[in-house]
Amino acid sequence: MNKFSWYEAKSVEDAVKQVNNTVSEELYLPSGKAAIFKSGGIDVLDLVKEGLIQPKTIVNVRNIPGLNKISFDDNGLRIGANVTLAEIEGNEAVKTRYAALHEAVAHAATPQLRNMSTIAGNLAQRTRCWYFRSSDHPCFRKGGDKCFAKHSETGQNENHAILENDRCVSVYASSVATALLAYQGSVMITNGKMESRQVPLSEFFVAPDQDVSRENILEPNDLITEISVPAPDMNTKSYYSKQVQRASYDWSMADVAIVAQMNGDTCEKITITLGAAAPIPIRAYEAEKIVLNKKINEERATRAAKVAMENAKPLSKNSYKLPLFESIIKQGLLEIA
C-alpha cells in the first residue's frame, strides 16, 4: 500500500532528525517504518510506484531555505543541494568555466526533468537497470541471490557494465556524476548529529564488491547539502560526451568526461572519467598515464582509448560499448589537445 505521510522539512536540522533510513537500505531490507528524504522527487517517486520501497514518511527537503544557491569564486563552484539541473545549465560560470559539466547537465534527461531534478537527488538516484527496477526480479541489489542481467544466455544486458562487472552489472544512472568526478568535485554531507563532512566524489560512490546494497556512502540521516567543485586553472580544458540511441531523452550508453590542465600542447594534469561503463562512475587511470606530461597526438589518444578498455569484460550484448568508449575517449583527447 503506497500510503505515506508527508513531512515538510523547515531546516537541515529538522530534516536530519525526521529521517530514519536511506532509500537503499529500505529497499534492500524493508523495515516498513522508513522515513526517507525526497528532493526533486523524481527517483524516489519512481521507486515507490515501481513497488520497490514503501516508505512510511517522506521528508521533503526541496524547500529548505538556503540549499538553492549556486556561486562561483576563486575557490571554485558551490552548488546547493536543491539547485536544479536547469539552473546549473543556465549558470554563466558553469557555461564558461566548466564546459564539460555544462555539457553533461545539458544532456541529462529532458528539459522538463531538468526543471524538476536537483543536483543532490541526481547524484544519489538509484540505477536504471531494468532488473533492479522490476519488483519481480530479486537481484543482488534487492537482497536477492543473483544478477539477472549478467546471465550469458538469458540476460538482457545491452545497457549494462563492461568494467568492474563481476557481481552486479548495473551502471550508475547519473551522467552528471561522470563530469563532477572528472572535476574532482566533492559532496558536503550533514548527519543526524548536525556534523558536516566533505567527501570527495572519488570516495562517495560504492562499488558492488564493497557493498551491493548501496551505490553511495550515505547513511541514514545523512543529507547532502552542497556540491563543490574546485576552480579550474585558466589552462584547463575539458570535454564531455554522452552517447545515446535517442537524442531527445535517453540514459547514457557511454559517457566520458575529460578535464586536463594544458601547458601548450603538453598535458600536465588530467582526469578521464567513464560513465555507464561500470556500476559506479570510474576514472580511467591507465589511460590518463598515457598522455600525462606528454603531448597529446593522434597516436597517444588512440593508445589511451585502447588502454581504457583493456580490462573490459563485455557481457553477451554490450560489446559495442568498447569501440564506442574508445571513439569518444580518443575524440575527447584530440579535442582538448
Partner 1 sequence: MEKRKEIFPFGIPGHNLSEIEREIPNDEPPAWPVNDQLKEVGKRVNRIDARAKVTGEAKYTSDMKLSGMLYAKFLRSNIPHGSITSIDTSEAEKVPGVHGIHIITKNKEDGMVGNEYPEIKYVGQPIAGVAAESLSIAKDAVAMIKIEYDPKSFVIDLEEAMLPDAPLVFKEPIQRQEDGGDVGVVHDGSKGQGNLRGPTTSSFYGGPRGDLEKGFAEADVMVENTYRTQVHTHMPLETHGVVIDWKPEEMLVYASTQNTAGVRNELANYFELPKSQVRVICDFMGGGFGAKHSAGSFGPMAAILSKKTKRPVWLMIDRKEEHLAEGNRPSSIQTLKIGAKRDGTLTAIQQKSHGTAGVALGAGVGRIAQILYDCPNFKTEQYDVLTHAGPGAAWRAPGNVQGAFGVEQAIDELAEKLKMDPLALRDKIDKSEVRKVERSRGAELFGWSNRKPAGSASGIIKKGMGVAQSCWPRFVTLNSSIEVRILNDGSVEVRGSVQDIGTGTKTILAQVVAEELGLKTTDITVRIGDTLFPDGPGSGGSVVTQSITPPARNAAYEAKMKLFNQIATKWETEASKLEAVDGFIIHKDDRSKKIPFKEALRGMRTSQISVTASRSNDYGGFQQPWGLAYGDLGSVQFAEVSVNTNTGFVKVDRVVAAHSCGRPLNMSQLESQVNGGVIQGISYALYENRVMDKGTGHFMNANVDQYKVPYSMEIPEIEVIIVEEYGALSSTDAYGIGEPANIATAVAIANAVYNAIGVRIYEIPITPASILKALNKIYE
CA proximity to 52, closest of 33, 24, 22: 24
d(CA 294, CA 283): 19
Q: Which cell numbers in the block locate residue 92?
A: 554563466
Which residues, 6+ apart, have CB-to-CB distance to 274 below 8 Å? 163, 178, 254, 255, 256, 281, 282, 283, 284, 308, 325, 329
Least distance (Å) from partner 1 to the CB of residue 318? 8
Q: Which amino acid is at 128?
A: R
Element (H, E) at 228: strand 223-230
Q: Which of residues 248-267 bind partner 1 (CB under 8 A)?
A: 248-251, 253
d(CA 141, CA 250): 23
Contacts with partner 1, 133-152, as mask; x by CB under 8 A: -x-xx----------x--x-
Residue 43: phi and psi, rounded to 5, are -75, -45
Q: Whose grid coordinates read 597517444?
A: 300
Q: Which is nearer to partner 1, 43 or 164 (CB)?
A: 43
Q: Which is nearer to partner 1, 274 or 322 (CB)?
A: 322
CA proximity to 2, closest of 60, 59, 41, 53: 53
Least distance (Å) from partner 1 to the CB of residue 153? 7
Contacts with partner 1, 167-206, as mask; x by CB under 8 A: ----------------------------------------
DSSP 276: S
By CB under 8 A, tell whether 247 contacts partner 1. Answer: yes
Q: Of residues 328, 329, 336, 337, which one binds partner 1 by CB under 8 A? A: 328
Contacts with partner 1, 295-324, as mask; x by CB under 8 A: -------------------x--xxxx-xxx
Least distance (Å) from partner 1 to the CB of residue 150? 11
Rg (CA), the chain: 20
Q: Which of residues 92-131 bind partner 1 (CB under 8 A)?
A: 110, 128, 130-131
Q: Which is nearer to partner 1, 253 or 284 (CB)?
A: 253
- Residues making contact with partner 1 (CB under 8 A): 1-2, 110, 128, 130-131, 134, 136-137, 148, 151, 153-156, 158-159, 243-251, 253, 314, 317-320, 322-324, 327-328, 331
